[in-house]
């Protein structure tokens, strides 16, 4: 057999039709049978494309002209949308974004999990899908003698300076602008990755949506901040509502944002926010859901799927700072939460005390080790809640769930492909996936969160 010839060459301009959208939000289509990925192109569009990269079985193209536009195409309101890597879907109208996310979940469950029988609901969206993020983590750089701050350009470490990010709460923009301006005027330097010189690496801003409390975190390459008092005073004058200014020291050559040492420069160590009727203390390094409006919808759905009557023992296998555990505890007999990050468990215990919730027990460790140990002590879950990272559940944990045989499992997922893989394992182990509710936690990005109701096969509702 002769070698298959590739019908396009680099820098060639072609016309083609876009037939689908990848999980990264790129348009995809075929040109004479050859697959091409085209960022910012939409399904159903006829486009003119310049080929920029060719591999053996696929290539990449740059969108040059839209000959026939999709009815779902929208004009991105963000002026730096095409340069910045933060959002991927602003060129699609919001209703279609929600439909595409539902389709992504459907495709993954079918293709990876072989789960054709599962009911998948339409994605729960936001009434106003802008300004929803309560936390900004912004790298700081230098340009023409002044400080710049923004998100990285897609696929690079080049900082795109910005004054406003339309998915961030306005207060976070105010904080970043204030730090850039004041630090520049005081001659405080930005960190340079290549030379490992300079001081300010990142500015992290956090806001309590319900409380209005603001935290500023300055991440520095060293302990000493020159003219520290003037910097603090300037920030306080420019931004209302600040409760906490914190310094985190990270002197390592690393892409990891936070270092080990944190100290409070002004005000409190924490700010507070509420989800539903639960109050949470948020420290500089504690993980807290970034979209509190949608988090409440997500947790209410998890609570519904858990089917609690007040008599159940619940195990929360990736409990973080106790957000889901505490949400469920008021409706359960007892909740056990396990998490590998010690600081998160420390925060979870504080949050339990803050809300006077006593029917929770938190432990530090790997879920796949702690839960079998609990099981050996006679602790058996009626309901298991799992909210793993993007890589999905550890195999040992899935085996433990299958052995423990809880009546119900609630799976909260941020990655449809690993969700599909794990659901397949649970199905093969005697569970039945009943329904899936996608929730749009991150509008205008490709990410989609899901809450899944799973039951023991024999205890399925008739």
Which positions are catalytic?
Answer: 414
Residues 441 and 462: their CA atoms lie apart, in Å, by: 32
Structure tokens at 245: 């200014």
Residues 407 and 255: their CA atoms lie apart, in Å, by: 42
Q: Which residues of 305-334 are buried (b: 16+ CB within 10 A; e: fewer)?
A: bbbbeeebbbbbbbbbbbbbbbbbbbebeb
Cα-based angle 427, 332, 374 (whole degrees, multiple of 5): 65
Report in angstroms the alpha-carbon separations of 166 from 131, 137, 293.
6, 14, 16
Of the candidates 441, 388, 383, 439, which has an alpha carbon nearest to the alpha carbon of residue 413? Answer: 388
3-state helix, strand, coil in the chain (%, to 5): 25, 30, 40
Q: Hey, what's the torsion of the CAs at 315, 317, 322, 326, to 10 degrees?
A: -20
- Greatest alpha-carbon span in the chain: 75
Helix or strand or coil: residue 327? helix
Helix (H) or strand (E) holding 324: helix 323-329
Report in angstroms the alpha-carbon separations of 269 from 17, 44, 217, 251, 262.
55, 52, 11, 22, 10
309 Cβ contact list (under 8 Å, min separation 6): 331
Beta bridge partners of 142: 147
Report in angstroms the alpha-carbon separations of 362 from 23, 112, 242.
35, 34, 31
Q: Is 456 exposed, middle or buried (0-12, 13-18, 19+ CB in 10 A)?
A: middle
**Tokens 């956090």, residue?**
206
Residues 164 and 77: their CA atoms lie apart, in Å, by: 11
The DSSP 8-state label assigned to residue 336 in this structure reads: E
Residues 444 and 244: their CA atoms lie apart, in Å, by: 30
Helix (H) or strand (E) holding 314: strand 313-316
Residues 88 and 75: their CA atoms lie apart, in Å, by: 13
Report in angstroms the alpha-carbon separations of 427 from 55, 221, 254, 449.
38, 49, 41, 20
């Amino acid at each position: 057999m002769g070698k298959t010839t590739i019908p396009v060459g680099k820098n060639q301009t072609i016309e083609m039709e876009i037939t689908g959208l990848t999980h990264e939000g790129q348009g995809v289509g075929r040109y004479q049978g050859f697959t091409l990925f085209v960022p910012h192109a939409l399904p159903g569009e006829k486009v003119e494309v310049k080929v920029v990269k060719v591999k053996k079985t696929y290539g990449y193209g740059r969108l040059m002209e839209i000959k026939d536009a999709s009815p779902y195409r929208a004009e991105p309101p963000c002026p730096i949308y095409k340069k910045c890597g933060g959002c991927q879907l602003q060129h699609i109208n919001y209703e279609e974004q929600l439909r595409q996310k539902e389709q992504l979940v459907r495709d993954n469950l079918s293709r990876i999990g072989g789960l054709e029988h599962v009911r998948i609901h339409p994605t729960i969206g936001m009434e106003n899908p802008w300004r929803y993020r309560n936390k900004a983590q912004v790298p700081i750089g230098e340009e023409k003698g002044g400080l710049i701050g923004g998100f990285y350009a897609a696929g690079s470490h080049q900082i795109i300076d910005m004054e406003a990010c339309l998915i961030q709460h306005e207060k976070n923009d105010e904080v970043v602008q204030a730090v850039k301006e004041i630090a520049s005027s005081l001659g405080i330097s930005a960190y340079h990755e290549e030379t490992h010189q300079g001081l300010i690496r990142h500015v992290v801003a956090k806001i309590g949506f319900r409380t209005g409390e603001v935290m500023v975190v300055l991440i520095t390459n060293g302990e000493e901040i020159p003219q520290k008092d003037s910097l603090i005073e300037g920030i306080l004058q420019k931004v209302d509502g600040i409760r906490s200014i914190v310094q985190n020291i990270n002197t390592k050559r690393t892409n990891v944002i936070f270092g080990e040492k944190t100290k409070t420069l002004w005000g409190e160590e924490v700010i507070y926010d509420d989800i539903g009727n639960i109050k949470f203390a948020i420290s500089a390094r504690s993980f807290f859901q970034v979209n509190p409006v949608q988090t409440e919808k997500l947790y209410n759905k998890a609570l519904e799927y858990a089917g609690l009557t007040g008599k159940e023992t619940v195990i929360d296998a990736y409990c973080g700072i106790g957000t889901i555990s505490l949400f469920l505890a008021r409706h359960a007999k007892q909740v056990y939460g396990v998490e590998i990050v010690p600081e998160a468990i420390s925060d979870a215990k504080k949050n339990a005390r803050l809300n006077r919730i006593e029917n929770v027990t938190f432990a530090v460790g790997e879920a796949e080790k702690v839960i079998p140990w609990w099981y050996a002590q006679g602790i058996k879950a009626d309901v298991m809640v799992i909210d793993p990272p993007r890589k999905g559940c550890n195999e040992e944990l899935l085996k433990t769930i299958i052995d423990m045989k809880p009546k119900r499992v609630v799976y909260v997922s941020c990655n449809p492909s690993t969700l599909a893989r794990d659901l397949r394992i649970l199905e093969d182990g005697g569970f039945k996936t009943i329904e899936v509710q996608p929730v749009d936690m991150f509008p205008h990005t490709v990410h989609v969160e899901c809450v899944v109701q799973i039951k023991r096969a024999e205890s399925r509702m008739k």
